[in-house]
Chains A and B, each alone.
Chain A
Amino acid sequence: MKKIGWLLASLLVLISLTACGGESDEASGSDVIELTVWNDWTEDRPENTVYKDMIKKFNEENEGIEVKIESIPHDQYETKLRTQAAGQQLPDMFRVWPGTRIAPLVEGNALLSLNEIVDEWEGKIPEGILKDYAIDGEHYAIPANISETSLIFYHKDALAKAGFDTFPATYEELKSLIEKLKEQNVTPIALGNKAIWPLQSVYISTIADRYTGSDFLENALNGEASFTDERFVKALSVIEELANMEAFNGDLNTIDEAQSRSEFVSGNTAMHFAGSWAIGPILDSVENQDAIGVAPFPSFEGGDGDPAKIAGVAGGGIALNSDLSGEKKEAAFTFLKYFYSDEMFQKLVKANIIVPADVEMDDSIPEVFQEANSFAQGGLAPVYDATLTPELTDIINNGLQSITLGEKTPEELAEEMEKESE
């Protein structure tokens, strides 16, 4: 018995030891450089298909390099990225968002500067847009698109039934439209705020800009202005007012953004406020593209901001891991140059994505897209969650949700934000 016991024990130890050490002898022998790219291209939409196709084509044309795609759903993507970054286990390349969202990664020296190759895009992408991905003069990613976060999509016939031939240009008119729609038993606006960012990113980014002007956010963050500013509180009150007049679907806090979009597409609501990311999916899933209209946010009386502006930010950047060196680094640079090319920008425009580079558009491009594209000409206002710190973003996200439930007043939220930013 004793002997068998010992035998079994040593066998177990042996198995567990070999199981741990099995990985070391692979990956040598082949000359292909493998690069993994993390992204959030899980949704089946034209934009994501363009990115994936570009990578597929790159792999076919570059025999020595193999780019592997790993997709993670958007809502979990950034959490995963941060967690892996903390454990220093980032992949070779990964999709990043500009401004404060890459700042912690830069501070932690997780990103490789692209200044060596940034000349490639000189004259193609305006400096003002390139700099969205730059911190202290170092570029960390190249933008593939411009994301406008505040567009209003509407069903033209629903508006016509309510007596509106064109979309309201002022907030007062918008409110009377909402009242008219409610009289006809039509839910005015589809909103899916379960993930709590839409009210902030889509709504407040532009509404607050209309009231406060574009310098306010920067000033409030560095202490020269205060979030308790009357104009900012007024912007928050707009959400309260819309919620109180029941402008939204009743389940606004329990459905997510994509669900609310399909509510709009299926005609259950007259309007849907969303960013340019919704253009493609909406146009793809409606029966008649001409029945859909797009409008900028209305003007607000007494606001100090420029009503022609729209909240927007550069996006689609892929950052490189700071650990890359030698062959792998060169391969990654080759990939970036190939990826962010005119060819991709052309394809993106066809997929109804607003791009930073100047590309020509023909008649095959839907009107909704051309119009949305033209809104960017009025100038970009800062997007709140691309500018605020993670703590402040969390407070305003949750606060806006509380406002829709009547559990917090705009004043209380403003004070809470001011306290945090001090």
Chain B
Amino acid sequence: MQAAGKTKGAIIIGLLPAILIYSVFAILPIIQSFYYSVMEWNGFSDMSFVGLANFQALFQDTLFWNSVKNNIYVVLASVLGQVPIALFIALLLNRKLKGLKIFRTIGFLPVVLSTVVISLTWSLIYNSENGLINELLRALGLGGLAQNWLGDTNWSMIAVCVTVIWQFVGLYLIIFLAALQNVPEEVLEAAKIDGASEWTTTWKITVPMIWDTIIVAVILCIAGSLKTFDLIYVMTNGGPSHSTDVMALYMFNETFSQLQYGYGSAVSVVIFFFSLILIFIVTKLLGRKML
């Protein structure tokens, strides 16, 4: 500790390049968004100050609330889908298993694939005329269950959520596996000697011991889902008729397709606070001091 105190100056200088880059490319744009959000601006002409009119218009826009609703679906699908599934598989894989590496690699594969590849592949799988799912259903004589997965507004959001879950399960799988490997053998052995069943050991010992990791995973999950964009942009671009619109997509389309930079910035600011509040609530709910 003492050494650290002496080289404080060096540490600061060492951090400076990173801080500088981070400020210019991350902090500054956020502050700029705040500034633009009270302006009316089409991106080319002069800005004019409009106060909170953008926010007023935003809160009255049903399309925005529609995108919030869809975004909450994505958050729920991620938190309730990705985390439990990943935890389940991680617990299964966390024993001396033949071919462990293969399973781990398979699980992690979707994370490595480019989102565009995933989106296009799943679009083909979901296609109503000759997609894999419908062909399979028809081959099994279940043609009646075949749906226009991405083209039907009742199914499109569900279809997108399934893909989102599939894409990121691997990421949390790896995080959980790493955490599980850090659970000390002695503790588990002690539990065994005391006669605890596998079930009790898992719930009373293993899960509590990696609880902090689970919280981090949930927060990563929420933050990731709130800014989800690329997958849906390629898969449906928010369609059909806005049924898969999420906040980031709504912001993008308002800003760049309709040239409302001020309004789009207002949307960004709202997303910013929305994420902040949600993550605050989650850390409170799940207990344990974070950060």
Q: Are A and B subunits of one complex?
A: yes
- Residue on B with the closest CB to A6? B10
- Are B257 and A79 touching (Cβ within 8 A)? yes
- Residue on A with the closest CB to B7? A5
- Contact status of A253 and B151, CB under 8 A, knowing A82-B43, A405-B240, A407-B241: yes
- Are A250 and B151 touching (Cβ within 8 A)? yes
A376 at the interface (CB under 8 A from B): no
A108 at the interface (CB under 8 A from B): yes
Closest Cβ of chain A to B22, distance in Å, is 12
Instruction: Specify which of B44, B151, B237, B261 is in contact with A195 (CB 8 Å cutoff).
Output: B237
Q: A108 to B45: give the CA distance in the assembly, Å.
A: 5
Q: A105 to B45: give the CA distance in the assembly, Å.
A: 9
Residues of the A chain whose Cβ atoms lie less than 8 Å from the Cβ of B3 = 1-2
B128 at the interface (CB under 8 A from A): yes
Q: A195 to B241: give the CA distance in the assembly, Å.
A: 11
- Are B14 and A9 touching (Cβ within 8 A)? yes
Q: A294 to B253: give the CA distance in the assembly, Å.
A: 35
Instruction: Specify which of B9, B20, B240, B257 is in contact with A394 (CB 8 Å cutoff).
Output: B257
B242 at the interface (CB under 8 A from A): yes
- Residue on A with the closest CB to B131? A251
> Which residues, 192 to 208 on A, are CB-close (under 8 Å) to B?
194-196
- Contact status of A104 and B17, CB under 8 A, knowing A254-B148, A254-B150, A255-B127: no
B70 at the interface (CB under 8 A from A): no
- Are A254 and B128 touching (Cβ within 8 A)? yes
A353 at the interface (CB under 8 A from B): no
The DSSP consensus for interface residues of chain B is: loop
- Are A401 and B43 touching (Cβ within 8 A)? no
- Are A108 and B44 touching (Cβ within 8 A)? yes
B129 at the interface (CB under 8 A from A): yes
B258 at the interface (CB under 8 A from A): yes
B126 at the interface (CB under 8 A from A): yes
Q: A1 to B10: give the CA distance in the assembly, Å.
A: 11
Which of the 9-residue segments A10-18, A49-57, A136-144, A337-345 touches chain B? A10-18
- Are B42 and A254 touching (Cβ within 8 A)? no
Instruction: Specify which of B6, B43, B148, B261 is in contact with A251 (CB 8 Å cutoff).
Output: B148
- Contact status of A79 and B256, CB under 8 A, knowing A1-B3, A195-B237, A408-B241: yes
A48 at the interface (CB under 8 A from B): no
- Are A398 and B151 touching (Cβ within 8 A)? no
Residues of the B chain whose Cβ atoms lie less than 8 Å from the Cβ of A6 = 7, 9-10, 13
Residues of the B chain whose Cβ atoms lie less than 8 Å from the Cβ of A79 = 256-257
Residues of the B chain whose Cβ atoms lie less than 8 Å from the Cβ of A278 = none
- Contact status of A254 and B126, CB under 8 A, knowing A10-B13, A12-B17, A105-B44: yes
Q: A83 to B255: give the CA distance in the assembly, Å.
A: 9
Q: A194 to B151: give the CA distance in the assembly, Å.
A: 9
B239 at the interface (CB under 8 A from A): yes
Residues of the B chain whose Cβ atoms lie less than 8 Å from the Cβ of A249 = 129
Residues of the A chain whose Cβ atoms lie less than 8 Å from the Cβ of B150 = 253-254
Q: A110 to B43: give the CA distance in the assembly, Å.
A: 11
Closest Cβ of chain A to B250, distance in Å, is 12
> Which residues, 95 to 150 on A, are CB-close (under 8 Å) to B?
104-105, 107-110
Closest Cβ of chain B to A224, distance in Å, is 25
> Which residues, 337 to 365 on A, are CB-close (under 8 Å) to B?
none
Q: A57 to B259: give the CA distance in the assembly, Å.
A: 37
Contact with B along A194-235 (1 / 0, CB 8 A): 111000000000000000000000000000000000000000
Closest Cβ of chain B to A211, distance in Å, is 24
A390 at the interface (CB under 8 A from B): yes
Residues of the B chain whose Cβ atoms lie less than 8 Å from the Cβ of A291 = none
A242 at the interface (CB under 8 A from B): no
- Residue on B with the closest CB to A79? B256
Residues of the A chain whose Cβ atoms lie less than 8 Å from the Cβ of B153 = 405, 407
Residues of the A chain whose Cβ atoms lie less than 8 Å from the Cβ of B54 = none
Contact with B along A43-82 (1 / 0, CB 8 A): 0000000000000000000000000000000000001001
- Are B151 and A1 touching (Cβ within 8 A)? no
Q: A217 to B105: give the CA distance in the assembly, Å.
A: 58
- Are A86 and B13 touching (Cβ within 8 A)? no
- Are A390 and B258 touching (Cβ within 8 A)? yes
A8 at the interface (CB under 8 A from B): yes
A85 at the interface (CB under 8 A from B): yes
Q: A251 to B261: give the CA distance in the assembly, Å.
A: 34
Residues of the A chain whose Cβ atoms lie less than 8 Å from the Cβ of B128 = 250-251, 254
A252 at the interface (CB under 8 A from B): yes
Residues of the B chain whose Cβ atoms lie less than 8 Å from the Cβ of A10 = 13
- Are A194 and B241 touching (Cβ within 8 A)? no
Closest Cβ of chain A to B158, distance in Å, is 14
B67 at the interface (CB under 8 A from A): no
Q: A2 to B21: give the CA distance in the assembly, Å.
A: 25
A402 at the interface (CB under 8 A from B): yes
- Are B127 and A398 touching (Cβ within 8 A)? no
Instruction: Specify which of B45, B241, B259 is in contact with A398 (CB 8 Å cutoff).
Output: B241
Q: A97 to B143: give the CA distance in the assembly, Å.
A: 45
> Which residues, 223 to 264 on B, are CB-close (under 8 Å) to A?
236-237, 239-242, 253, 256-259, 261
Q: A80 to B126: give the CA distance in the assembly, Å.
A: 29
Closest Cβ of chain A to B84, distance in Å, is 30
Q: A254 to B148: give the CA distance in the assembly, Å.
A: 9
A391 at the interface (CB under 8 A from B): yes
Instruction: Specify which of B6, B126, B239, B261 is in contact with A2 (CB 8 Å cutoff).
Output: B6
- Residue on B with the closest CB to A7? B10
Residues of the B chain whose Cβ atoms lie less than 8 Å from the Cβ of A194 = 236-237, 239
Residues of the A chain whose Cβ atoms lie less than 8 Å from the Cβ of B151 = 250-254, 405
- Contact status of A405 and B7, CB under 8 A, knowing A107-B45, A252-B151: no
Q: A239 to B219: give the CA distance in the assembly, Å.
A: 45
List 7 interface pairs A-B (beta carbons < 8 Å), by A numbering.
A6-B10, A12-B13, A16-B17, A251-B128, A251-B129, A251-B151, A394-B253
The 4 A-B residue pairs with the shortest CB-CB distance in the complex, in nearest-first order: A108-B44, A86-B43, A5-B10, A402-B241
**Chain B residues engaging chain A, CB cutoff 8 angstroms:** 3, 6-7, 9-11, 13-14, 16-17, 20-21, 42-45, 123, 126-129, 148, 150-153, 236-237, 239-242, 253, 256-259, 261
**Other A-B pairs, 12, CB within 8 Å; known A253-B240, A407-B241:** A2-B10, A9-B13, A13-B17, A79-B257, A85-B44, A104-B44, A105-B44, A110-B44, A251-B127, A255-B127, A394-B257, A394-B258
